[in-house]
Amino acid sequence: MIAAAPFTTTPEALAPCNLPERLKRETAADHAEVEDTVQLMGIDTMARYLAVLAAFQGFWPGIEARIDQALTAALRAELAPRWRAPRLSDDLSRLGLSSADIRALPVCTDWPRIDGPAAALGALYVTEGSALGARHISRHLNEQLGMDAASGASFFAGHGDRTGSLWLRFKALLSEHLPSEAEQDRAVLAATQTFSALNRWFKIALPHG
C-alpha cells in the first residue's frame, strides 16, 4: 500500500496560484491528445461503445485504487463515494459480458506515480474532470445508441445531478489541501502523468483505423 505522506507547509511556501486553472492550462495538451485518441464523440455503433468500455475497464479500477491508497484518511472518507469503476463492470454486465469475461479483459500495467495526497489529488483532477465532461458523452450516447444510465451507460452519467456541485467541491479541496507551491507542483505532475498513461493505454487497448 502506498503511504500517504503528511503535508508540511511553511507560510513562505504558500502559493497564491489558482490550482484548478493551472491544472487546466498545464494539462491541456495531454487532455486533448487523450480526446483525439479515444474519440468518445465519434461512438456510433454498439461494437465501438463496447470496445471503449472495455478499454476504460482496463484502466479505471487501477487508477482509482492507486488514488485511494495515497489519500489521507479524511480525504479518502470524503472522496471514496466518487469512485466510478464499479459502474464500468455494471455497464459491461448489462451489455452481456459475464463476470469471467470482464475479469479476462486486458489491464493496464503502465501507471503514473501516485505517492502521496498531492499526487492523488492531481490524478483525481483527471478522473473528476472525466465525470464533468461525461455529461456531454451521455447525451451523445443517448442520441446515437439510445443508451442511458439504466441501460449500460452509467459510467458516462458522471455523478448525475450532483456532477456540477461535486466538481466545485473538488476545486475547493485542491485549494484547501494543496496550499504550497511544492504540493501544487506534485499535483500538476501527477495529473500530466495520468493523462499520458491513459493515452498510452487507449492506444494499446482500442482498435484504430
pLDDT in tens, 116-147: 999 999 999 999 999 999 989 999 999 999 99
pLDDT in tens, 173-195: 999 999 999 999 999 999 999 99
Task: Examine residue 186 and state whether it is found in any structural domain, yes or no.
Answer: yes
Task: Examine residue 4 and state whether it is found in any structural domain, yes or no.
Answer: no
C-alpha cell at 40: 468518445
Task: Examine residue 109 and state whether it is found in any structural domain, yes or no.
Answer: yes
Task: Examine residue 1 and state whether it is found in any structural domain, yes or no.
Answer: no
pLDDT in tens, 146-176: 999 999 999 999 999 999 999 999 999 999 9
Q: What is the pLDDT of residue 17?
A: 60
Task: Examine residue 38 and state whether it is found in any structural domain, yes or no.
Answer: yes
Domain CATH code at residue 28: 1.20.910.10
> Domain residues for 93?
18-205
Number of domains in the chain: 1
Region of residue 147 (phi > 0: left; psi between -120 and 50: alpha; otherwise: beta): beta
Give the C-alpha distances (Å, rounded to integers) separating 150 from 48, 67, 89, 138. 19, 27, 13, 12
User: pTM for the full model?
Assistant: 0.89
Task: Examine residue 11 and state whether it is found in any structural domain, yes or no.
Answer: no
pLDDT in tens, 47-106: 999 999 999 999 999 999 999 999 999 999 999 999 999 999 999 999 999 999 999 999
**Which residue is associated with the grid cell 505517492?**
115
